[in-house]
Amino acid sequence: MTGGLQPRRIALISVHTSPLAQPGTGDAGGMNVYVWQTARRLARRGVEVEIFTRATSSADRPVVQAAPGVLVRHVEAGPFDGLDKRDLPGQLCAFSANVLRAEAAQAPGYYDLIHSHYWLSGQVGWLARDRWKVPLVHTAHTLAAVKNASLAGGDTAEPLGRVIGERQVITEADRLIANTRTEAAELIDLYDADPDKIDVVVPGADLDCYLPGDRAAARAALGLDPDDVLVTFVGRIQPLKAPDVLLAAMAPLIRADLTGRLRLLIVGGPSGTGLERPAALAELAATMGVADRVTFFPPQAPERLAQVYRASNLVAVPSFSESFGLVAVEAQACGVPVIAAEVGGLGVAVDDGITGRLVPGHDIDVWTRELAGLLGDPERLERYGAAAVGHARGFSWEHTTDALLASYTAAMDHFPSGPARRGALGRRRARGWLKNRPRMAG
Ligand code: UDP
pLDDT at 435 over 60: no
How far is residue 417's CA from residue 427's CA, in Å, rounded to a whole number?
14
Q: Is the distance from CB of 103 to CB of 380 less than 8 angstroms?
A: no
pLDDT at 1: 43
What pLDDT score was predicted for residue 434? Answer: 36
Q: Is ligand 1 within 6 A of the CB of residue 268? A: yes
Helix, coil or strand: residue 136: strand
Task: Using pLDDT thresholds of 50, 70 and 90, give the confidence band for residue 272.
Answer: low
Q: Where are the alpha helices (DSSP H) in 11-56?
A: 30-44
Helix (H/G/I), strand (E/B), else coil: 197: helix
Q: Is the pLDDT of residue 389 over 50?
A: yes
Whether the CB of 355 sits within 6 Å of ligand 1? no
Q: Taking residues 296-313, report their average pLDDT.
A: 97
Region of residue 64 (left: phi > 0; alpha: psi -120 to 50; beta: else): beta
Which backbone phi and psi does 68 adopt, to 5 degrees? -55, 125
Residue 429 confidence class, pLDDT cut points 50, 70, 90: very low
Measured by CA distance, the residue closest to atom 9 of ligand 1 is 23
Instruction: Decide: helix, strand or coil at residue 361.
Output: coil
* Mean pLDDT, rounded, for 174-203: 97
Residue-level pLDDT at 3: 59
Of 147-161, 219-233, 280-294, least confident by mean pLDDT is: 147-161
pLDDT of residue 270: 83
**pLDDT of 275 above 80:** no
Q: Are 172 and 192 in contact (CB under 8 A)?
A: no
Is residue 218 within 8 A of residue 288, CB to CB? The reply is: no
> What does R_g of the chain's alpha carbons equal in angstroms?
22
Work out the average pLDDT over 250-254. Answer: 98
- Out of 16, 27, 32, 33, mutate this one to test ligand 1's pocket (max ligand atoms within 8 Å of CB): namely 33
Q: Are the CB atoms for 255 and 336 separated by under 8 Å?
A: no
- Alpha-carbon distances of 98 from 52, 93, 172, 234, rounded to whole Å: 10, 9, 21, 35
Range 422-431 average pLDDT: 43
Nearest 5°: the CA angle 214, 215, 220 is 100
**Short-list 233, 180, 195, 204, CA closest to 400:** 204
pLDDT score of 436 more than 60: no
Query: Residue 269: CB within 6 Å of ligand 1?
Result: no
Whether the CA torsion 325, 275, 272, 268 is positive or negative: it is negative
Range 240-250 average pLDDT: 96
Contact criterion met (CB below 8 Å) for 271 and 242? no
Q: Is the CB of 203 under 6 A from ligand 1?
A: no
| Average pLDDT of the chain, as a whole number | 92
Is the distance from the beta carbon of residue 39 to the nearest atom of ligand 1 less than 6 Å? no
**106 pLDDT more than 80:** yes
What pLDDT is recorded for position 129? 98
Q: What is the ipTM of this complex?
A: 0.99
Give the per-residue pLDDT at 438. Answer: 33
Question: What pLDDT was estimated at residue 432?
Answer: 38
Instruction: Tell me the average pLDDT across 331-351.
Output: 97
Give the model's pLDDT for residue 152.
79
CA distance 177 to 198: 6
Within 8 A by CB and 6+ apart from 259, the residues are: none
User: Residue 416 pLDDT > 90, yes or no?
Assistant: no
- Residue 156 scores a pLDDT above 60: yes
Residue 196 vs residues 142, 187, 204, 411: alpha-carbon distances, Å = 20, 12, 24, 11
Share of the chain above pLDDT 70, in %: 92
Q: Is 267 in the pocket of ligand 1 (CB under 6 A)?
A: yes
pLDDT in tens, 118-132: 999 999 999 999 999
Could you tell me if the CB of 204 is within 6 A of ligand 1?
Answer: no
Pocket perturbation via mutation, ligand 1, pick of 32, 234, 236, 300 by most ligand atoms within 8 A of CB? 234
CA of 77 to the centre of ligand 1 (A): 26
- CA 277 to ligand 1 center in whole angstroms: 16
Instruction: Give the span between the Cα atoms of 81 and 121, in whole angstroms.
Output: 19
pLDDT band at 82 (very low <50, low <70, confident <90, very high): confident
What pairing do the DSSP bridges indicate for beta strands 136-139 and 175-178?
Answer: parallel
Ligand 1 atom 24: the closest Cα is on which residue? 30
Binding-site residue ranges for 1D-myo-inositol 3-phosphate: 16, 27-32, 85, 118, 142, 162
**Pair 374, 380: CB distance under 8 Å:** yes
Mean predicted confidence (pLDDT) in 204-232 = 98
Q: Is the pLDDT of residue 59 over 70?
A: yes
